Each structure stands twice: as C-alpha cells, then as structure tokens.
C-alpha cells in the first residue's frame, strides 16, 4: 500500500516523533528512571548524568515527570479529541443528510457557541464545575466538537450533492449504502487530517488550562502544569519550564506535519474530495 520511501522527509520526521511520544506515554512506568512524585535531589538541579533533564521545583526528576506527563497529556487530549470528533462528526453528518429543522437548530447553536472564544467559554464553565479529569475532558470535547461539526457537515453536504451520490439514489440504493459506501470513503481523508489538527488543538488547550491552574491538578501534572510548576525558575535563569513547553511544541509540530501530509495526499487524488 504505502511505500515508506515515498513519504516526504518532513512527514517521516513527524511520524517518528509522534510515535516516540506515544511509546513514552504507553510505557511510562517502564521507561521513567524514577517515580512520578519521587523526590530525588535538590530543587532545580542542572542537567547531569544522574538526571538527564535536571530536577524540578520540588527536586523531582524532570525526565521522569516529562514521561509521566506525556501519559496524562496524551490521555486527556486523545479522549477529548475522540469525544469532540465522534460528537461533531455524527451530528455534522446527520445534519447534512437529514437537513430540515434538525440541521437549522444544530447549526445555529454551533454558530452561537463559536461566537465566544473557546478559551473564554472554557474558563466561564470551569469557574463553577468541579476540577477533575472527567469535567476537563467533557468541557474540552464538547467545546471543540463545534469545529468538527462545521467541517463534517460541510464535507458531507459537498459530497451529498455530487452526481455519483445522485446516481446511487437514482439506482435505488438504501441510505446505508449511500452513507457508508458513497459519502464516508470520500469524507474520510479530510476528516482524518482534521483529526490531527483537532488533537493538536486539544493538546494546546489542555496545556493552556493547566498552565493557568485550571487543568490537571497537582500532584499529577501534564506538560502545561509542569510549565506552571517551574515557571518561577525562569527569572533565575533556570530553563526547567522551557522543557515541557518545548515538548508540547514538538508534539504539535510532529502531528501537524503528519496531518499536512495526509491532507496533501488527499487533494492530490483528483476528485478525492470533489
């Protein structure tokens, strides 16, 4: 199917880096040299052979916390993306296929939700909701599903008016065949690429919330939370906070590279999206 040699280098880098992050997250307890909350040395020790990335604001091994942090970051971001994606895509497709008042109502609601910046709406809601993982995932997933809704509705509406879908209707195909055999295969590629972008957005959104102290709560920490923990060191010239921040950027760029490549592959297939 896919020839590895034909994957462009940026995409390859993206794939490899993303895979590394995922592996670190999955096998965190086996890879991390120390425990997540284990205090192993002085506060903000510099990088050394014993502590490859140094220690954090409480004297915990930064590398170990980064690895565990990957786990929490990816876990929440993945679940939020899955939620936003399934919610947005199902509603978007339904709106496109059924139309009528269902479509109008949903679309207006989404317009309304999108007329408030996501972060602001998130902060408003989080001011009354209990701070835990479930709330976080729900808030992130639901707020972000509006974008997925818009895209999947637009894609499905585009495809639904294509002549080949009309031909299938004229042939007498049932709605099952039309949705799963005619529309879905053609909607998949733009949606998969959007999946990548939504995931990046989830990572950035989660990190921002945690950085503001409204996301993952201590003693657990995702990368955004770790930036918050170590940010006071910056004024003393201690770069510990920059490391998790850079990790977020690296993850986002890698996924972006992969998503870009998928999107390009899609558009290069003539008529792939129509």
Partner 1 sequence: MVEVVKKGGDTLLDIRNLRIEATVYPPGESPKNIVLVHDVSLTLEKGKVLGLIGESGAGKSTIGLSSMGYGRGGVRITGGEVILNGRDILKGGKEGFRKLRGREVCYVAQSAAAAFNPAHRLMDQVVEATLLHGTATRAEAEKRAVALFKKLSLPNPETIGERFPHQVSGGQLQRVMTAMALCSEPDLIVFDEPTTALDVTTQIDVLAAIKDAIRDTHVAALYITHDLAVVAQVSDEIMVLRHGRLVEWGGTRQIIKEPRQEYTKALVSMHDIEHAEQKPGATPLLSVRNVTAAYGGGCIKVLKNVSVDIYPGQTLAVVGESGSGKSTLARAITGLLPPEQGTVTFDGRPLANRLADRPKEDLRQLQMIYQMADVAMNPRQTVGTIIGRPLELYFGIKGRERDKRVAELLDAIEMGKGFSDRYPAELSGGQKQRVCIARSLAAKPKLIICDEVTSALDPLVANGILKLLLNLQQHEKVAYLFITHDFATVRSIADSIGVMYRGEVVRYGAKSKVLMPPFDAYTGLLLSSVPEMRPGWLDEIRSSVTAGFAKMAEMSDEGISLASGH
Partner 2 sequence: MNLVLRLVAQRVALGLLLLLAVSVLIFAGTQILPGDVAQAILGQSATPESLANLREQLGVNDPAFVRYFHWLGGAVTGDLGTAMSSGQDIATSIKGRLWNTLFLAFWAAIVAVPLAIILGLIAVRYRNGWVDKLISGLALASTSFPEFFIGYLLVYFFAVKWQIFPAISTVYDGMPFGERMQAIALPAAALTLAVLAHMMRMTRAAILNVMQSAYVETAELKGLSAFAVIRKHAFPNAIAPIINVVMLNLAYLIVGVVVVEVIFVYPGMGQYLVDHVTKRDVPVVQAVGLIFAAVYVGLNIIADIAAIVANPRLRHPK
Site for partner 1, rule CB under 8 A: 8, 162-164, 166-173, 181-182, 185-186, 261, 264-265, 267-272, 274
Q: Which residues, numbered 232-261, are part of the site for partner 2 (CB under 8 A)?
A: 234-237, 239, 241-242, 245-246, 248-249, 252-253, 256-257, 260
Specify the residue, 118 or 193, whose C-beta has the smaller distance to partner 2: 118
Let me know: does 135 contact 126? Beta carbons within 8 Å: yes
> Which of 15, 231, 262, 274 lies at the binding interface for partner 2 (CB under 8 A)?
231
Q: How far is the CB of 15 from partner 2 (least distance, A)?
A: 16
Q: Where do we find the tokens 């999206």?
A: 273
Asked if 158 contacts 238 with a C-beta cutoff of 8 angstroms, the reply is: no
Instruction: Tell me which of partner 2, partner 1, none is bound by residue 272, counting a contact when its beta carbon lies within the kind-specific cut-off of 5 to 8 angstroms.
Output: partner 1
Asked if 214 and 123 count as a contact pair (C-beta separation under 8 A), the reply is yes
Q: Which residue has the tokens 């880098």?
A: 13
Cα(15)–Cα(22) distance, integer angstroms: 11
What stretches of 90-148 adopt beta strand conformation (E)? Answer: none
Rounded to a whole number of angstroms, the minimum distance from the CB of residue 266 to partner 1 is: 9
Q: What is the spatial distance between Cα 202 and Cα 80, in angstroms, rounded to a whole number?
A: 7
Q: 39 has which bridge partners?
A: 60
Distance CA 86, CA 212 (A): 28
129 binds partner 2 (CB under 8 A): yes
Q: Indicate which of partner 2, partner 1, none lies near residue 192 (CB less than 5 to 8 Å, by partner kind).
A: none
**Least distance (Å) between residue 251 CB and partner 1:** 23
Per CB under 8 A, 268 contacts partner 2: no
C-alpha to C-alpha distance for 206 and 77, rounded to whole angstroms: 7
Segment near partner 2 (CB under 8 A); pick from 24-32, 51-59, 127-135, 188-196? 127-135
Strand, coil or helix: what is 172? Answer: coil
In whole angstroms, the minimum distance from the beta carbon of 216 to partner 2 comes to 14
The answer to whether 87 and 146 have CB atoms below 8 angstroms apart is no
Residues of this chain that interact with partner 2 (CB under 8 A) are: 112-113, 115-121, 123-130, 200, 204, 207-208, 211-214, 224, 227, 231, 234-237, 239, 241-242, 245-246, 248-249, 252-253, 256-257, 260
């Amino acid at each position: 199917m896919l020839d590895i040699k034909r994957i462009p280098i940026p995409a390859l880098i993206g794939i490899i880096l993303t895979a590394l992050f995922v592996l670190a997250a999955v096998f965190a307890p086996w890879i991390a040299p120390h425990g997540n909350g284990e205090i192993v040395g002085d506060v903000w020790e510099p990088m050394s052979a014993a502590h490859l990335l140094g220690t954090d604001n409480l004297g915990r091994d930064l590398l170990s916390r980064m690895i565990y942090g990957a786990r929490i970051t990816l876990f929440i971001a993945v679940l939020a993306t899955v939620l936003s994606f399934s919610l947005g895509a199902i509603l978007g497709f339904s709106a496109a296929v059924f139309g009528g008042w269902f479509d109008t109502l949903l679309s207006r609601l989404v317009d309304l939700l999108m007329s408030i910046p996501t972060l602001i709406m998130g902060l408003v809601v989080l001011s009354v909701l209990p701070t835990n993982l479930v709330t976080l995932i729900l808030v992130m997933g639901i707020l972000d599903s509006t974008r997925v809704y818009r895209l999947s509705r637009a894609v499905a509406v585009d495809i639904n008016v294509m002549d080949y879908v009309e031909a299938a209707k004229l042939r007498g195909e049932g709605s099952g065949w039309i949705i799963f055999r005619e529309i879905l295969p053609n909607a998949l590629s733009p949606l998969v690429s959007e999946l990548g972008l939504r995931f990046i957005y989830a990572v950035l959104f989660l990190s921002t919330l945690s950085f503001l102290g409204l996301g993952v709560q201590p003693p657990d920490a995702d990368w955004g939370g770790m930036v918050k923990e170590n940010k006071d060191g910056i004024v003393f010239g201690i770069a510990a906070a920059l490391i998790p921040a850079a990790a977020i950027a690296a993850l986002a760029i890698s996924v972006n590279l992969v998503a870009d490549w998928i999107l390009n592959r899609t558009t290069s297939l003539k008529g792939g999206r129509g």
